[in-house]
Structure 1
Amino acid sequence: MQHRYAFECVDRSIRDIMSAVNPEKAQKPFGGITVVFGGDFRQILPVIPKAGRPDIVGASLNNSRLWEHCKVFLLFRNMRLHAGNTDEQNRLIKEFSDWQLKVGDGKVDPISFKEHVSEVLFRLPQQHVIHSEDKPIQDLIDVVYPDFANRCSSSEYFSSRAILTPTNAVVDDINYAILDKLPGETYTYLSQDSLEDQGVEENDFDESFPIEYLNSLNLPCIPKHELRVKVGTPVMLMRNLNQINGLCNGTRMIVTGCKKNTIECEIMSGSHAGKKHLIPRIEMIPRIKLKNNKDTKRKKKHL
């Protein structure tokens, strides 16, 4: 979801353009043109770094002056849940869909609630909970990927299931656990990190941050310094490389070959399923702020 200032900026621009056609259109939202907004305020909120709840709510579209001119259309069908093969499956799917809507609408009975705190705790249905004490990650993998040893060579097997995590804290543990279960040789790819000084004056500040320190930085927008894969590993693309050929952010692929500076991958699903592409090293330059530095530094990463 974009900041409400972005929509208001587009509104002013269209009004200026339409006023050249008819001066009265300058007084209408978006110059009298019908504009459709799509999104779910329960899932997609404006992303404001280090902002609190008041700032995020204030940046939402429904807090803009344009909102009073909008007509809301509600969608109730969950397109991610398809019809089952039996009446029992359809019943379970409907129960899960209704429960999701109740969570989004805040109609689920809470088990605890604290005043002046936005977090509300509620109990998950038992059919959606895996009880494990000794090996929770391994038990989760066994439930999502049954008969893994005999079916891990099938791309359809991986494309029809996935493990989602709310944070990146346990992503590596799950990835490495699945990687260890795959047969074959492990290929390790290391990034080449460097620090670009954006300051005006030249100084020796960059020398105080060795390469080992840059390699240890784990930023949420780029992968880690070390990437380990095997032939047959399911992967996901994180950058838009070629949208015409299906290489978009979020494209799920399976590794079919590991070269020196490229990884050969095959798209698993969608209209481009079955196509193979070579994924080269990609230059990523996120902006970061380092301690005791007034200038903004950029960590240059070649993956």
Structure 2
Amino acid sequence: MIDIPDELLIKECDDPIKSIVEEVYGLSFEEQTDPHFYQERAILCPTNDDVCLINEYMLSMLTGEEKTYLSSDSIDPSDTSNQDSRVYTPDFLNNIKLSGLPNHSLRLRVGTPVMLLRNIDPKAGLCNGTRLQITQLADHIIKAIVLTGDTHGQKVYIPRLNVAPPEGKFPFRMRRRQFPLAVAFAMTINKSQGQTLSSVGLYLPKPVFSHGQLYVALSRVKSKDGLKVLIIDKDGKPQKQTMNVVFKEVFQKI
């Protein structure tokens, strides 16, 4: 267990999600239209469940045009080991949620920051982990502005793709046709690796769970003035300590 310095802590909060959103994005983020505003900010969480709660909260605050895109899920025709694909119903396939796989139901609004989940065009900067801001929603394509990397500010078009979960996760090969995007007001700590931000909120309703994860989260910010940490217990009360995970084997030969 380690103590977090007082100047970094959010100590009072009746509504934890509202509190950390206000610290990182301010009271009127829904009125922001400048891409640079979202380029420099993010909330980080250890788990996808907490990321989804924050993203849904912030998405509901935006006032831009909204669309919900539903994926088309099926068993890959090349999977000859499953002769009777009728065993896996559409409802079963639709409910599969995995890190790196776009959800069956993708709710988006104009102005939303999103993250690419697949490499589309590396030369143009459209790689897994690239952050974008949506500027237009059409039925079969999405227009966006690149927020990160050497091509930031460039306008791009994102199509639907056939995306598959990592092999070995299921006893069949699945195929999901969906936009390879995830809402990115908040993101998991693992997905934030390689990014440098001016304002970072670290939301810890549960402790980190792997070696180096806390270090990665705290080192995404350019200076400690832009870092805020909210640690809460199971009753939702702010705490001053959190757990750091370190493999003891690291120290054996020191």
Are 2:70 and 1:190 aligned?
yes
- The structure with more radius of gyration: 1
SS in 1 for 2:22: helix
SS in 1 for 2:18: helix
1:182 to partner: Cα distance: 1.0
* CA–CA separation in structure 1 for the residues paired with 2:82 and 2:72: 25
**Residues 82-121 of structure 1, C-alpha deviations (whole Å, 9 max, x = no match):** xxxxxxxxxxxxxxxxxxxxxxxxxxxxxxxxxxxxxxx2
Q: Which residue of 2 aligns with 1:250?
A: 129
**Residues 134-185 of structure 1, C-alpha deviations (whole Å, 9 max, x = no match):** 3101110000001424752111111111111122121111111111111123
1:200 to partner: Cα distance: 4.3
Q: Is the 8 A contact 1:252 1:268 kept in 2?
A: yes
RMSD: 1.9
Q: Which residue of 1 aligns with 2:117?
A: 238
Structure 2 vs 1, CA of residues 289 and 146 (structure 1 numbering), >3 Å: closer, same or farther? closer
1:223 to partner: Cα distance: 1.8
Amino acid at match of 2:141: T
* CA–CA separation in structure 1 for the residues paired with 2:30 and 2:42: 17
Structure 2 vs 1, CA of residues 258 and 268 (structure 1 numbering), >3 Å: closer, same or farther? same
Q: Is the 8 A contact 1:192 1:301 kept in 2?
A: yes
Query: After the TM superposition, which residues 106-145 of structure 1 pair with which residues of structure 2 at under 5 Å, given as runs?
Result: 121-145=1-25
Q: Which residue of 1 aligns with 2:87?
A: 208
**Residues 206-226 of structure 1, C-alpha deviations (whole Å, 9 max, x = no match):** 222210111011122302111
Structure in which a larger fraction of residues adopt helix: 1
Q: Which residue of 2 aligns with 1:24?
A: none
Q: Identity of paired residues, percent?
A: 35
Q: Which residue of 2 aligns with 1:301?
A: 176
Q: Which residue of 2 aligns with 1:160?
A: 40
Q: How many residue pairs are counted as aligned between the two chains?
A: 176
In structure 2, stretches of 5+ residues that fail to align are 179-254
* CA–CA separation in structure 2 for the residues paired with 1:216 and 1:125: 41
Structure 2 vs 1, CA of residues 245 and 280 (structure 1 numbering), >3 Å: closer, same or farther? same
SS in 2 for 1:158: helix
TM-score (norm 1): 0.54
* CA–CA separation in structure 1 for the residues paired with 2:80 and 2:37: 51
* CA–CA separation in structure 1 for the residues paired with 2:98 and 2:82: 27
* CA–CA separation in structure 2 for the residues paired with 1:172 and 1:241: 24
Q: Which residue of 2 aligns with 1:170?
A: 50
Equivalent of residue 280 in structure 1, options 159, 162, 167: 159
In structure 1, stretches of 5+ residues that fail to align are 1-120, 291-295
Q: Which residue of 2 aligns with 1:110?
A: none
Structure in which a larger fraction of residues adopt strand: 2
